[in-house]
Amino acid sequence: MLAGNLYFYDHPESVNGVIAFDQQFLADILRVTGTIELDGDPFPINFGNINAVMRSTKIPPVEERTLPDYERKALISKICNALMEKLFSGDIRPERLFTLFLKALNEHHLLLQVDSPSITSLLARHRWDGAVRPEQGDFLMVVDTNVGANKTNAVVKSSLSYDVDLTKPAAPIGSLTVVHKNNAARVIVIGRI
């Protein structure tokens, strides 16, 4: 998996697998674990405000960005650490977690890659590995991702239209148009990012 290769650029040790999840999974897991509190953060985080909290890291106050130890992705580590503490506390019923993980795997909000042939086979059999598989006939897959913490895609409206010209049925012509419109307010940033 690409994420494992990217990790290797900055770390001498290899990984045995990769767990990838999106913001929807984060909200869903907070629905199960309940509110978390982060050191140094006056506001508790829950499933109802996690998206706003994540978006707030997009443009923090200038005084924070100019600090020499500022790390814009530090919030993600803090959230994950707080969640892991809750998950391993023993206070959450395993059935609720199993149901959540199964739903997230089926909806592809959670993807797993493990360096084990038997587990890899299990993940592929249930289509939990994120693979794109060949299918019969034509298909269209438009991939749009935002892997950063800024979550700019929340303010980008995407649309697509696919037209097929069947004037010559033996040689149809397809045309795809993908439009992205950034609806963000214009912001001028001064200082280091």
Domain layout of the chain by residue ranges: 2-125
- pTM beyond 0.75, yes or no: no
Residue 179 has a pLDDT of: 92
Residues 6+ apart with CB under 8 A from 95: none
Residue 5 has a pLDDT of: 63
Strands in the chain per DSSP E: 17-21, 110-114, 156-165, 173-182
Task: Work out the widest C-alpha separation in the chain, in whole angstroms.
Answer: 66
Residue 64 has a pLDDT of: 64
Q: Name the phi and psi angles at 167, rounded to 5.
A: -55, -40
| Residues 107, 36: Cα–Cα separation, whole Å | 24
Q: Is the pLDDT of residue 93 over 80?
A: yes
Least confident of 42-51, 60-69, 150-159: 60-69
| Residues 54, 67: Cα–Cα separation, whole Å | 20
Q: Which residue has the higher pLDDT, 144 or 112?
A: 112
For the residues 146-167, what does the mean pLDDT come to?
A: 79
Q: Is the pLDDT of residue 60 over 80?
A: no
- Which one-letter DSSP state was computed for residue 107? T
Beta partners for residue 19, in sequence order: 112
